[in-house]
């Protein structure tokens, strides 16, 4: 019997996969526990529509990320920090401060977790920082760390 899995089942298959299952296994285990539905024309067409909708959503998210990348790369963020002798910073510039500066200066909201900062910035000058907007889209922004 062909069934469409509604959930991941270890050793059987992944969600939304069409598999061949024994009649007894399907009727006595998969159907009562709502882990699968029979693979008839209605359920297969519903699954196809769901897959098309998910693909369209991924394409829209990818296009939106590309547009946002262009906006981000066109701006230059200036972050004023307190410094001591010789231009040495008190503390460091973190992801949170970069996200706040983007929002305050250009009204661009970015989640601080998406800002890839290998180590905190501890010196004045221009720095380039990577922001991961989508699995395939990364933006490089320029920060200018200046003395306040």
Better-predicted residue by pLDDT, 32 or 73 = 32
User: For domain 66-147, is the CATH number 3.10.430.100?
Assistant: yes
CATH architecture designation of domain 2-64: 3-Layer(aba) Sandwich (3.40)
Question: What mean pLDDT value characterizes the chain?
Answer: 92
Domain range annotation of the chain: 2-64, 66-147
Please state which of the ranges 26-30, 57-61, 103-107 shows the lowest mean pLDDT.
103-107
Give the pLDDT score at 16: 94
* pTM summary value: 0.73
Q: Render pLDDT for 79-134 as a digit per residue (tens, 0 to 9).
A: 998 888 777 788 888 999 999 999 999 888 999 999 999 888 888 889 999 999 99
Q: 68 Cβ partners below 8 Å, 6+ apart?
A: 108, 133, 139
């Amino acid at each position: 019997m062909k069934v469409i899995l509604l959930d991941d089942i270890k050793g059987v298959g992944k969600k939304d996969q069409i598999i061949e299952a024994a009649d007894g296994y399907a009727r006595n285990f998969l159907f009562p526990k709502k882990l699968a539905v029979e693979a008839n024309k209605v359920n297969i067409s519903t699954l196809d529509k769901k897959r098309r909708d998910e693909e369209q959503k991924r394409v829209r998210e990818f296009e939106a990320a590309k547009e946002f990348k262009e906006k981000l790369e066109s701006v230059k963020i200036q972050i004023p920090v307190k410094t001591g002798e010789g231009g040495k910073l008190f503390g460091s510039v973190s992801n949170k401060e970069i996200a706040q500066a983007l929002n305050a200066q250009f009204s661009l909201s970015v989640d601080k977790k998406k800002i890839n900062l290998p180590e905190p910035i501890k010196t004045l000058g221009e720095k380039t920082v990577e922001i991961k907007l989508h699995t395939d889209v990364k933006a490089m922004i320029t920060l200018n760390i200046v003395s306040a």
